């Protein structure tokens, strides 16, 4: 806490040396909300593309009194994947979609009933991690900030953002950011996202924290630039294992309409997922030429993870068959640690005529370890760690012209585990109204560590496997037209890894009475196709925003299960009131997806388990919202799933985890620029 206070005081002091803001009537809502044009190829390749954009001094506006006021376009935000943008104070329907814990559009996800819990992925490609080898525990990764999620800034005056959102039951959700330019070339930022939510069911409390601090810099001649950040993240969840008797939830008769009266599988289980990361990305241009540039780029990442699953009593209700099977002891304590180092170096040459060519080399080192010794049923020792040292070589080509771009990169391991990653993208602007993006990816992916090795105090959850790489051939295309925005994905998957339940006994509600989970590999081919269409219709002050996604899977067995149709439709009204002092937006959002075999959640693995016993879906979800904007402050009032009491209690995330009941929320987002 002392460190944070000192840092905030330092930021406040440094802020006085920056551009002074005196024009309180400056309109910040006139910024063009269209897509930002891509920077040139060197800036996209180099570690920080701040140098390729207008500097703060070029964007100052001098008033009659001699003071200076910076427009909103000077408050720049840079993201490794999304490119350049600005602080956005516009209130539109997209902000409503991002009014959630993740602060992003969650179309394709279905949140669990309590804030801070995991999400069911209706779209299987929503969570896409880009590490050479992934740890696993993927259900815990939705709220984890990866290095690609960190933004960098360049601002003429100190800028801050406060985000508040009420939660389910007692608690709150707060996200605070402060950024300041110490000079025109050097920026620093600090941010923290905290959330604590009690939930409505027994043993459902969540408490998450994501701290981030970083900086960016480029020299005046723009030949050297860097960006770096450090994150500390802690994701805590009480785990109740789901509803024990789903019939009580579906009836919701007294007293079971009070969710704390419904029995759950466990009343004293918890998980904690922690992460520490330090990241540095720097580049240097050797020569001074503007038309033919030679540069070197270096990226370094160190990341540490730990995951704990704790349980006071493995069988708290003395079931004849414990839910997760037999255990070595009645008290469960599973802990795994993981660290990884990654160093990448790129040498590049760029010509303004023919584009950028680069060669790269990388070294990856990791260790996944348990502090225990386990023997299997054949009295064979299961190793308690896995270690990898991988050397990769690769290359890139980038061409960036006014109306078309091309970007190809390739990476192949030459020492250590075998892996391959080929990514080719092309974009063309046919004219001002039509654009086409095409991307192809070929990937041979090393299995997640939790598929390869797992140890637990539960006897069934111990294994060591040598699985083959998963293979993905993916083709993506996006077509933007004045009538509709279309995007599609075709994916060919071979040797897919998954978790499945080996239990065979079901209860009267057709739910499995146990979760006896093991990893498996599907040797056959899976064909996945998705098509998504988005279109907004406007009439005067009314608008109807529509997003529909169609998915189809061709496979011999039910391994990759998805709903065939996902839709979101929002009817809303927007207008200024009180002499245009307040902008108002109100409407209703309808969400729906068809029935399918939704994966079950497993807290021991922190992941989802394939099942083909119970289908969920085919229930409507209506949300009402009333949003308002006053200057740079935005206020959100949401009534989520307000139809829950009169359309039936058949709404589930998984076969045993109900979706949320009616929930009323208040949210505030406020930007400060001085």
What pLDDT sits at residue 431? 87
Average pLDDT over residues 96-113: 96
For the ranges 65-74, 75-84, 161-170, 541-550, which has the lowest average pLDDT?
A: 65-74
| CATH among 2.40.170.20, 1.10.443.10, 3.40.50.10070, 2.20.25.90 for 78-673 | 2.40.170.20
**Exposed, middle or buried by CB within 10 Å (0-12, 13-18, 19+), for 353?**
exposed
Choice between 270 and 374, residue whose per-residue pLDDT is larger: 270
At residue 47 the predicted structure's pLDDT band, cuts being 50, 70 and 90, is low
Residue pLDDT, tens place only, 422-461:
999 999 998 888 999 999 999 999 999 999 999 999 999 9
For the ranges 62-71, 115-124, 654-663, which has the lowest average pLDDT?
A: 62-71
Q: Say if residue 1's pLDDT is above 50.
A: no
With contact defined as beta carbons under 8 Å apart, do 629 and 582 qualify? yes
What pLDDT sits at residue 15? 41
CA distance 165 to 635: 10
Q: Say if residue 379's pLDDT is above 50.
A: yes
Average pLDDT over residues 253-276: 95
pLDDT, the chain, mean? 90
pTM (whole model) above 0.85? yes
Q: Which helix (H) or strand (E) holds 192?
A: strand 186-197
Q: Say if residue 130's pLDDT is above 80.
A: no
For the chain, the domains span 78-673
Residue pLDDT, tens place only, 619-643:
999 999 999 999 999 999 999 999 9
At residue 374 the predicted structure's pLDDT band, cuts being 50, 70 and 90, is confident
Please, what is the end-to-end C-alpha distance for the chain in angstroms? Answer: 24
What pLDDT sits at residue 376? 73
CA distance 21 to 17: 12
Average pLDDT over residues 349-353: 91
Q: Say if residue 518's pLDDT is above 90.
A: yes
CA distance 408 to 423: 6
At residue 203 the predicted structure's pLDDT band, cuts being 50, 70 and 90, is very high
Average pLDDT over residues 16-45: 39
At residue 68 the predicted structure's pLDDT band, cuts being 50, 70 and 90, is low
Q: Say if residue 63's pLDDT is above 80.
A: no
Residue pLDDT, tens place only, 207-221:
999 999 999 999 999
């Amino acid at each position: 806490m002392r460190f944070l206070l000192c840092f905030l005081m330092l930021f406040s002091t440094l802020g006085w040396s920056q551009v002074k803001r005196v024009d309180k009537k400056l309109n910040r809502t006139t910024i063009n909300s269209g897509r930002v044009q891509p920077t040139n190829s060197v800036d996209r390749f180099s570690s920080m593309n701040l140098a390729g954009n207008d500097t703060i001094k070029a964007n100052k506006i001098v008033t009659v009194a001699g003071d200076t006021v910076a427009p909103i376009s000077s408050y720049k935000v840079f993201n490794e994947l999304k490119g350049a943008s600005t602080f956005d104070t516009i209130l539109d329907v997209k902000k409503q979609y991002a009014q959630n814990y993740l602060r992003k559009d969650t179309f394709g996800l279905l949140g669990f009933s309590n804030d801070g819990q995991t999400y069911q992925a209706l779209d299987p490609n929503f969570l896409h991690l880009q590490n050479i080898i992934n740890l696993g525990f993927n259900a815990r990764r939705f709220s984890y900030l990866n290095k690609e999620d960190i933004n960098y800034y360049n601002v003429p005056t100190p800028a801050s953002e406060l985000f508040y959102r009420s939660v389910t039951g007692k608690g709150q959700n707060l996200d605070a950011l402060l950024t300041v330019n110490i000079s025109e070339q050097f920026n620093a930022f600090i941010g923290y996202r905290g959330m604590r939510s009690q939930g409505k069911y027994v043993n459902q409390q969540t408490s998450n924290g994501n701290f981030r601090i970083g900086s960016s810099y480029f020299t005046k001649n723009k030949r050297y630039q860097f960006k770096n950040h450090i994150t500390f993240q802690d994701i805590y969840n009480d785990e109740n294992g789901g509803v024990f008797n789903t019939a009580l939830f579906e009836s919701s008769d007294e007293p079971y309409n009070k969710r704390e009266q419904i029995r759950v599988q466990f009343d004293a289980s918890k998980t904690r997922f922690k992460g520490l990361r330090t990241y540095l990305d720097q580049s240097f241009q050797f020569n001074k030429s503007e038309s033919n540039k030679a540069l070197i780029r270096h990226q370094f990442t160190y990341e540490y993870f730990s995951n704990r699953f704790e349980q006071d009593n493995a069988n708290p209700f003395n079931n004849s068959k414990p839910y997760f099977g037999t255990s070595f002891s009645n008290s469960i304590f599973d802990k795994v640690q993981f660290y990884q180092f990654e160093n990448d170096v790129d040498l590049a040459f760029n010509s303004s005529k023919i584009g950028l060519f680069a060669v790269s080399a990388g070294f990856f080192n990791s260790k996944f370890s348990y502090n225990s010794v386990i023997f299997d049923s054949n009295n064979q020792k299961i190793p308690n760690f896995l270690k990898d040292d991988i050397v990769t070589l690769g290359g890139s080509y980038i061409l960036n012209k006014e109306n078309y771009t091309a970007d190809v990169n390739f990476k192949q391991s030459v020492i250590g585990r075998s892996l391959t990653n080929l990514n080719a993208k092309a974009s063309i602007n046919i004219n001002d109204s039509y654009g086409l993006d095409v991307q192809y990816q070929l990937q041979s992916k090393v299995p997640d560590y939790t598929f390869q090795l797992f140890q637990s105090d539960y006897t069934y959850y111990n294994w060591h496997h040598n699985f083959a790489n998963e293979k993905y051939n993916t083709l993506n295309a996006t077509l933007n037209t004045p009538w509709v925005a279309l995007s599609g994905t075709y994916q060919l998957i071979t040797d897919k890894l998954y978790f499945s339940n080996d239990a065979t006994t079901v209860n009267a509600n057709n739910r499995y009475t146990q979760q006896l989970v093991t990893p498996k590999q599907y040797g056959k081919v899976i064909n996945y196709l998705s098509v998504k269409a988005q279109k907004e219709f406007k009439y005067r002050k009314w608008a109807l925003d529509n997003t529909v996604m169609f998915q189809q899977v061709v496979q011999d067995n039910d391994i990759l299960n998805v709903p065939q149709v996902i839709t979101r439709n929002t009817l809303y009204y927007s207008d200024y009131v009180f002499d245009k002092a307040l902008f108002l937006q109100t409407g209703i959002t309808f969400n729906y997806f068809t029935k399918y075999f939704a994966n079950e959640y497993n807290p021991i693995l922190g992941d989802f388990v394939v099942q083909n016993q119970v289908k969920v879906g085919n229930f409507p979800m209506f949300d009402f919202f009333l949003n308002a904007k006053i200057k740079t402050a935005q206020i959100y009032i949401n009534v989520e799933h307000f139809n829950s009491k009169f359309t039936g209690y058949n709404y589930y995330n998984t076969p045993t985890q109900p979706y949320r009941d009616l929930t009323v929320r208040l949210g505030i987002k406020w930007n400060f620029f001085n």
